[in-house]
Amino acid sequence: MARTVLVAGTASHVGKSTVAAGLCRLLADAGVDVAPFKAQNMSNNARAVPKAAAVGERTDAAAGERAEDAGAFGEVGVSQYVQARAARVRPTTDHNPVLLKPRGDSESQLVLDGEAVAHYAAGEYYDDHWERARETARRAHERLARDHDVIVAEGAGSIAEPNLRHRDLANLETARFADADVLLVADIERGGAFASLVGTVDLLPAGVRERVAGAVLTKFRGDESLLDPATAEVEERTGVPVLGVLPHDDPGLPAEDSVDLPAAGERALAGGDDGVPDERAVTVAVPRLPRISNFTDLEPLAATPGVRVAYVPLDAALDSVGPTGRGADAVVVPGTKNTVDDLLAAREAGFAAELRAFDGPVVGLCGGYQILGERITNAGVESTGDPGTVPGAGLLPVETRFSPDKRVEQATRRLAGVGPLAGAAGRVSGYEIHMGETRPLAEVARPFPDAPAGAATDRVLGTYLHGLFENEVAREAFLGRVFAAAGVERPAVDGTAPSACDRAATLVAELGGALVDPLGLDALAGAERP
């Protein structure tokens, strides 16, 4: 059976995902058969991957083709998708067997083994469904442990929350059923990291405290030797060695949840550290929908030199957003966990009217595509607030009808250069995760001639295909249109922008090298499986 290392945190956003992905890549490059795991994740940034049952023991391309032929895809959190890529294994639902997708009002959709079960309030989930979730996670780990040498598991939040001690699936329960060694991660940039380490170890229940093999400090700037006295005291107080200090270097991992975005009434900018002056850049405005999901779709744009992605509140005036003085040059409406309620919020705040008055390129992705249409029918399937028909923003002549069925699949499609993607040609790959089917109400251009997965006018395009901008042909066509419409000469770019996943995997591998030897994982490199 595989050895499991649980990367657990003293708090949320301390760098667990980064450390886990780095370990996966380091071990994979050293010849170790490694796989990621997160027993329970809470995120609306999900990816479509083959269900483990469809792939079986195979992790190669043929396994994915078999899953695609059977239509057997499910959802996992984006971090586990990235970590599987870092481990050089094909992502499957076993890497994140329990996923909770929040949709507001303390309610989440429960996804088990990649398949949506139902929506539950937090209390109902823990009272009536947690045991089933635990068993689902245990079995997934058992399958991974049978097929790999090392499992790098990621915890959630803090591992030492006394109020969650009896139902902490991602942390305590994983440590127990996986017989895991625990690596504690603390963020030193925020301050209080040493107190957090001491307090975390002290609060851990018996049987888990003894599993802590070491700790790591993340996001440090400066001279590491300044930490030596504090490190020595922590080790003396806890008996836990501090195995390494990782520099403050953001690898660009896709964000796991909307906590990484600005609050609804604030603005934030992505991009801008590329050396391109703002006056030579373009601004892509993204409405900060209350239930925004899969906003990782925007990261390939933000990573492109000369592009600023501005997340704006719904009451923002598009002619005043961004740093260029021109306002927004384009708008991308992202996905949402609850299209109907976010559409109502956008209309009430005036954003739908702003979109209709805007004369630049507009792209709607998944829920954003539905928002751009003429109307949504059978809305009560998704929202209890309005069970009938809800008028859309009216930018595309399409209608979406909701049903309880959920579409989850990976897709590769032939792209036609229409609307904001004018001039593009070739094939693009991505994934779909959505409820509802959308049909045209009038003659409309189709970005994918072989599939009814989108619609376009001269300046507006909607599609269900997540990951569209990870494809160079689509990204370059869109940005070419945006720069041209803005009247800005595009700055020269050396090479093409890598995907967020590849960029993250490359960078995090440089952060975690000091961890492998102290954890004893180096001994597995090159070893033959029994």
What does the H/E/C string look like for 122-159?
A: HHHHHHHHHHHHHHHHHHHHHHHHHHCCEEEEECCCCC
Catalytic-labelled residue, pool 24, 141, 466, 501: 466
Nearest-angstrom CA–CA distance, 453 and 139: 35
CB 430 within 8 A of CB 465: yes
pTM: 0.88
Output b/e per residue, 405-432; b: 16+ Cβ within 10 A: eeebbbbebebbbbbbbbebeeebebbb
**CA nearest to 100, candidates 123, 84, 80, 116:** 116
**pLDDT attached to residue 231:** 93
Give the CB-side neighbour count of residue 340, counting CA atoms within 13 A. Answer: 21
Q: Which two tokens stand for residue 272?
A: 């801008």
**CA nearest to 137, candidates 120, 114, 118:** 114
Whether 466 is a known active-site residue: answer: yes
CB 416 within 8 A of CB 448: yes
Output b/e per residue, 459-484; b: 16+ Cβ within 10 A: bbbbbbbbbbbbbbbbbbbbbbbbbe
Mean pLDDT by 10 residues, the chain (530 residues): 93 91 87 96 94 60 48 91 93 97 86 95 94 98 96 96 93 97 93 95 96 91 89 95 81 64 62 83 95 91 92 94 91 95 95 96 97 93 75 96 91 93 94 93 91 90 96 95 94 63 59 62 57
- Residue ranges of domains in the chain, CATH in brackets: 3-253 (3.40.50.300), 261-500 (3.40.50.880)
**pLDDT attached to residue 55:** 54
**pLDDT attached to residue 496:** 57
Please name the residues in contact with 278: beta carbons below 8 A apart, sequence gap of 6 or more. Answer: 272, 308, 323, 324
**pLDDT attached to residue 529:** 47
**pLDDT attached to residue 1:** 73
Dihedral pair phi/psi, residue 343, rounded to 5°: -65, -45
**pLDDT attached to residue 509:** 64
**pLDDT attached to residue 266:** 55
Strand order, beta sheet including 150-154: 34-37, 150-154, 3-9, 181-187, 212-220, 242-247
**CA nearest to 329, candidates 283, 288, 292:** 283
Whether 501 is a known active-site residue: answer: no
Please name the residues in contact with 451: beta carbons below 8 A apart, sequence gap of 6 or more. Answer: 411, 413
**pLDDT attached to residue 353:** 96
Catalytic-labelled residue, pool 24, 95, 141, 366: 366
